[in-house]
Amino acid sequence: MRVCVGGSFEFLHAGHRALLWAAAEMTDDLVIGLTSEAFMEATKGYSTPFGEREAAIEDLMRDFGYPGEYSVAPLDDPYGPALNEPFDAIVASEETANVARRIVGLRKAGGLPPMEVVIVPMVLADDGVPISSTRIRRGEIDLDGHLL
């Protein structure tokens, strides 16, 4: 089974770890889409170095003890390789589920085989609000969702 997942992964917080773990558990052939600095700047108004985020993902996959093959693919748009490469499933958070469903629809319109959409629940911080990079950047919570 070939699986894809994507995001900016600005901070590898508990929500990102859950998302990547869910994707890794499904396959031994994983493609992790990582927003490019230009796409991150265009969509968020700031960017963090691609290489730093990629290295953090590589460290996490090593920490997971992931035995399969994985690659990190730059995303210059919301779709990346998920739009036209052969995948059996796409893993998304509740926050990005609509993008995953849109990709499936675009693939179908383009004559590509369907792929399963697997939605991973958001991980909540101690205050019951989802953990997010924005909240971490604001200094509200740490990477595990503990209030600061």
Mean pLDDT of the region 62-81: 96
Confidence at residue 117, expressed as pLDDT on a 0 to 100 scale: 98
Q: Please report whether residue 148 resides in a domain.
A: no
pLDDT computed for residue 71 by the predictor:
97
Assigned domain for 23 exists? yes
- Please state, as a whole number, how many other Cβ atoms lie within 10 Å of the Cβ of residue 62: 9
Name the pLDDT band for 67 (thresholds 50, 70, 90).
Answer: very high
pTM, entire model: 0.95
| Domain containing residue 48 | 2-123
The per-residue pLDDT for range 35-50, each reduced to its tens digit, is: 999 999 999 999 999 9
142 is a domain residue: no
Here the CATH number for the domain that contains residue 54 is 3.40.50.620
Of the pLDDT bands very low, low, confident and very high (cuts 50, 70, 90), residue 145 is very high
Q: How many CA atoms lie within 13 A of 50 on its CB side?
A: 15
86 in a structural domain: yes
Domain assignment present for residue 96? The answer is yes
Q: Is residue 48 part of a domain?
A: yes
Q: Is residue 62, in this structure, part of any structural domain at all? A: yes
Give kind and range of the element (H or E) at residue 52: helix 50-64
Predicted confidence at residue 97, as pLDDT, reads: 97
Q: Each residue of 119-136: pLDDT tens digit?
A: 999 999 999 999 999 999
pLDDT digits (tens, 9 = 90+) for 5-33: 999 999 999 999 999 999 999 999 999 99
Residues 6+ apart with CB under 8 A from 114: 104, 107, 108
Number of domains in the chain: 1
The answer to whether residue 80 sits within a structural domain is yes
- The mean pLDDT of 73-86, rounded to a whole number, is 96
